[in-house]
Amino acid sequence: MKKQLICLIGPTSVGKTEHAINLAKELNTEILSCDSRQIYKEMRIGTAVPEPSQLESVKHHFIATESIHNYYSVYQFELDALQKSAELFKKYDKLVLTGGSGLYLNALIYGMDDIPDPDPEIRRNLEIRLQKEGLESLRFDLKRLDPEYYAEVDLRNPKRVMRGLEVCLTTGQTFSHYRNRSARERPFAHKIICLDRERSSLHSRINKRVDLMVEAGLIEEVKSLFPHRHLNALKTVGYRELFEAFDGKLSIEEAIELIKRNTRRYARRQITWNKRYKKAQWFDAAEADNLIALTKDYLNQE
């Protein structure tokens, strides 16, 4: 029997953590997290890392394992998760994967193209150029250096334009040359389960969770990270808004409201992303009682 990775995904606050733990217990296995922010050990409250008791009840991987001060990316995650899963599959037939970062999930189940790391110097220069010369100028270069990618990218999206350019500039090859986007063979099968729930219910859970984070000390956590606000890891819902409040641009109350709003938006983007998995099985997370049964049925279908 082929090893199986059971991917439990869904928007933030939908109830993934709890369900994943129940499922992992039921299957007697461990959990891999695919979350680009819970992986940072400095950001616990604002990223809703599982409770210590939850982390104890089932072994979790890739939670609070990296530092915001180190460079980390999807590609890194692909390598780490591949290695970890291979190790765990020696012991288990099934593993549970859960988390909110769609691209991280893709990296593990389909793989990322092998593209050299960008030269940090080049990346920095591009950022400066964007500031000074504007997007137009970067587009101009991209058109010249990689017309193929130029024809595909969203030209209004500075991040994507810069990404193409930085690869061209550091490697001397076109970005398109590296970007095959073909799925890799994996030594395990995967099943995707998408959790969702009525929008109003999701929103009230988000609001409540943000309030709980504040009670749990979110403001202090963010304050302690204030000196590092420029780091990429801290460009995150829940942190960014409070940084603005510390700057005096917002009141704390306004920042909290904004966190709620931005979390709702984030959740919506996650749902949109999840719709790309055409073979995924969708469940309503509100049916907590029989979710495990439904899931087991689904897994047994084959």
Which CB atom, from 27 or from 31, has the smaller least distance to RNA? 31
Ranges within 214-243 binding RNA (CB under 7 A): 232-233, 235-238
Which CB atom, from 89 or from 175, has the smaller least distance to RNA? 175
Tokens matching residue 91? 């012991």
**What is the phi-psi region of residue 230: left when phi exceeds 0, alpha when psi lies from -120 to 50, beta otherwise?**
alpha
Taking the complex as a whole, the smallest distance from the CB of residue 91 to RNA amounts, in Å, to 28
244 counts as binding RNA under rule CB under 7 A: no
Ranges within 175-204 binding RNA (CB under 7 A): 179-182, 199, 203
Comparing CA positions, the residue from 257, 246, 301 lying closest to residue 279 is: 301
Which CB atom, from 82 or from 115, has the smaller least distance to RNA? 115
Taking the complex as a whole, the smallest distance from the CB of residue 186 to RNA amounts, in Å, to 13
Taking the complex as a whole, the smallest distance from the CB of residue 10 to RNA amounts, in Å, to 12
The site map against RNA for 55-74 (x = CB under 7 A) is -----------------xxx
**How does strand 31-33 pair with strand 189-196?**
unpaired
Comparing CA positions, the residue from 75, 64, 59 lying closest to residue 21 is: 59
Identify whether the C-beta of residue 207 lies closer than 8 Å to the C-beta of residue 260. Answer: yes
Which CB atom, from 86 or from 183, has the smaller least distance to RNA? 183
Which CB atom, from 164 or from 191, has the smaller least distance to RNA? 164
Pairwise CA distance, residues 296 & 293, whole Å? 5
Pairwise CA distance, residues 234 & 246, whole Å? 14
**How does strand 94-98 pair with strand 60-61?**
unpaired
Burial (CB count within 10 angstroms: exposed 0-12, middle 13-18, buried 19+), residue 28? exposed
Q: Which residues pair with 283 in a beta bridge?
A: 195
Which CB atom, from 27 or from 39, has the smaller least distance to RNA? 39
Segment interacting with RNA (CB under 7 A) among 88-96, 156-164, 277-285, 290-298: 156-164
Taking the complex as a whole, the smallest distance from the CB of residue 59 to RNA amounts, in Å, to 19
The site map against RNA for 119-138 (x = CB under 7 A) is ----x---x-----------
- At residue 172, φ and ψ (nearest 5 deg) are 80, 0
Burial (CB count within 10 angstroms: exposed 0-12, middle 13-18, buried 19+), residue 170? middle
Q: Where do contacts with RNA occur on this chain (CB under 7 A)?
A: 12, 35-38, 46-48, 72-76, 100-104, 106, 110, 112-115, 117-118, 123, 127, 154, 156-160, 162-163, 179-182, 199, 203, 232-233, 235-238, 258, 261-266, 268-269, 271-273, 275-276
